Amino acid sequence: MFDKLLYIETFGCQMNVNDSERIVSMLSELGYAPTNEPSCADMILLNTCSVRGGAEEKVYRRLANLRIYKRDGKKQIIAVGGCVAQQEGEELLCKLPYLDLVIGTHNLHLLPGMVKSAENGERRSETTFIDNEQRLDLFPTIKGESRLSRFVTVMQGCDNFCSYCIVPYVRGREISRRSSDILAEVRTLADEGVREVILLGQNVNSYGLKSGKEPNFAELIHKVSEISGIDRIRFTTSHPKDMSDELIECFANVPKLSGQIHLPAQSGSDAVLKLMGRGYTRSSYLERVARLKAVRPHIVFTGDIIVGFPGETDADFLQTLSLMESVRYIDIFSFVYSPRPGTKAAEFTDELRREEKMSRLGRLMELQRLITKEISKNYIGHTMSVLVEGVGKLPGQISGKADNGRIVNFTGDVSNIGRFVDVRITKAYPNSLLGELKLS
Ligand code: 5AD
Ligand code: SF4
């Protein structure tokens, strides 16, 4: 029975999106139904990201705005979760008197109890790290959500400590879930009608390597692909240094594996990659890309790039642009370097001027726009297998994702939702494709 409303805003990566799904599921058992309207919510939760400075400040600004809803005398719980919560902890409660709850990245299982206390006026912060396997047993599951495509967490945390990155500090050590639990979850999802799973983790490629007790990631993919009912498998995020030959072979041998891979390069310059502590070189990255293209000819790449890392020269930056031309990503997430307190790179002194960073970002985005346009244009006339996930933007349209991850809209009947259909592409937009249903 729902008698209360919950408003969640999610910032940052897919881990947070997935955690928000867990929060909605857990709090539904306390009678909270999700709402899109903060003003009428009984509880407001910001699931935060601290990967860049801007994102953090955005959270503070947003919290300041949300305050107004608490002023009119209405009892409303205000909570902060995610990476800013983990980083700031109790401090947030001290700084923001209108805040009720701070919940860290390893403590989601405590949230129902904390919400009950908050309903009785108690303010609490829980940010204790759990850096052993107990974390996995406490990890709440998502119940009762029916969708065709679902995330399945395979590992949590990160041990890589790239010099610019806050994640290992706010998400803790890398721990892989037991494969038996992962496979049981995928089987349950398949029984519930899920057709696509997205295997999720900060660095899925190193799945199972640390404990040695579990299969490696390539073996896990093979096992997932044997589960009937699941017809498409995707994964994110990959670290290029752990992109093994065996994993690359999966793109040849596992037809259910989607033909899209997110493989963040961060930079195309060896000097910068070294300072970033990434553990690969430009040429070893490009060699992995070439192998992937050889085993799966139409594979689509997406990636992350940081511009303006301390000490990045114009020549380094040109190396990044040339790497982008070689890989030909369909899309990239590009970020201006932002020093994160506590990380190694925050101590580097040769930070670039903001105007220089912004100018490089502009040049990079312009190049990517052209590449995206060219790749997309080439899809016109091709037929793609699309998993229909829902209605499209225009009346009479339905929409889904192609094997390569592109969104495809086309005219068709809603009875196709949940099916794989063949669609001929007729028009290309920057973020989606338009097509027509091929009748079999
Ligand atoms: N500054 C800018 N971008 C960053 N990222 C991580 N840390 C920083 C930082 N300090 C980017 C990386 C990563 C993505 C999730 O965020 O590109 O892959
Ligand atoms: Fe951050 Fe590097 Fe770990 Fe990715 S691999 S989460 S960039 S430390």
The residues spanned by each domain of the chain are 4-126, 146-258, 291-378, 383-437
pLDDT over threshold 70, residue 418: yes
Complete edge-to-edge strand list for the sheet that includes strand 300-307: 260-262, 300-307, 331-336
Whose CA is closest to 171, among 23, 337, 17, 50?
50
Complete edge-to-edge strand list for the sheet that includes strand 149-153: 149-153, 196-200, 232-236
And the tokens for 67?
Answer: 């305050």
Helix (H/G/I), strand (E/B), else coil: 185: helix
For residue 429, give every residue at least 6 positions away whose Cβ sits within 8 Å of its Cβ, in sequence order, or none.
376
Look up the pTM and report it.
Answer: 0.93
Q: Which atom of ligand 1 approaches the CA of 338 most closely?
A: 1
Of residues 273 and 74, more confidently modeled: 273
User: Confidence class of residue 54 from pLDDT cuts 50, 70 and 90?
Assistant: confident
Average pLDDT (125-141) is 88
Percent of the chain with pLDDT over 70: 98
Residue 61's CB is within 10 A of a number of other CB atoms, namely 10
Q: Is the CB of 335 under 6 A from ligand 1?
A: yes
At residue 337, the pLDDT reads: 95
Q: Could you name the CATH architecture of 291-378?
A: 2-Layer Sandwich (3.30)
User: Matching CATH topology for 146-258 and 291-378?
Assistant: yes
From CA 344, how far away is CA 321, in angstroms rounded?
25
Distance 240 CA to ligand 1 centre (A): 15
pLDDT over threshold 90, residue 58: no
Of residues 2 and 309, more confidently modeled: 309
Pocket test for ligand 2, best of 51, 158, 285, 304 (most atoms within 8 A of CB): 158
Distance 202 CA to ligand 2 centre (A): 7
Pocket test for ligand 1, best of 51, 203, 343 (most atoms within 8 A of CB): 51
Alpha carbon of residue 181 to chain centroid: 21
Q: Is the CB of 13 under 6 A from ligand 2?
A: no
Q: Is the CB of 164 under 6 A from ligand 1?
A: yes
Of all ligands present, the nearest one to the C-alpha of 276 is 2
User: Confidence class of residue 60 from pLDDT cuts 50, 70 and 90?
Assistant: confident
Worst-scoring range by mean pLDDT, 72-81, 98-107, 115-124, 150-159? 72-81
| Beta-strand runs (E) in 196-259 | 196-200, 232-236
At residue 71, the pLDDT reads: 60
Whole-number Cα distances in Å, 108 to 116, 188, 370, 428: 14, 22, 42, 41
pLDDT over threshold 80, residue 36: yes
Name the fold adopted by 4-126: Rossmann fold (3.40.50)
Distance 135 CA to ligand 1 centre (A): 25
Q: What are the pLDDT digits (tens) for 393-411?
A: 899 999 999 999 999 999 9
Phi, psi of 222 (to 5 degrees): -60, -45
Worst-scoring range by mean pLDDT, 60-74, 179-193, 200-214, 314-328? 60-74
pLDDT over threshold 70, residue 264: yes
Angle of helix 245-253 versus helix 282-295 axis, rounded to 10: 20
At residue 231, the pLDDT reads: 96
Q: Is the CB of 161 under 6 A from ligand 2?
A: yes
Distance 238 CA to ligand 2 centre (A): 10
Distance 352 CA to ligand 1 centre (A): 16
Average pLDDT (185-200) is 96
Q: Is the CB of 167 under 6 A from ligand 2?
A: yes
Range 383-437 classified under CATH 2.115.10.20: no
Distance 202 CA to ligand 1 centre (A): 12
At residue 139, the pLDDT reads: 83
Name the fold adopted by 146-258: Transcription Regulator spoIIAA (3.30.750)
Helix (H/G/I), strand (E/B), else coil: 374: helix
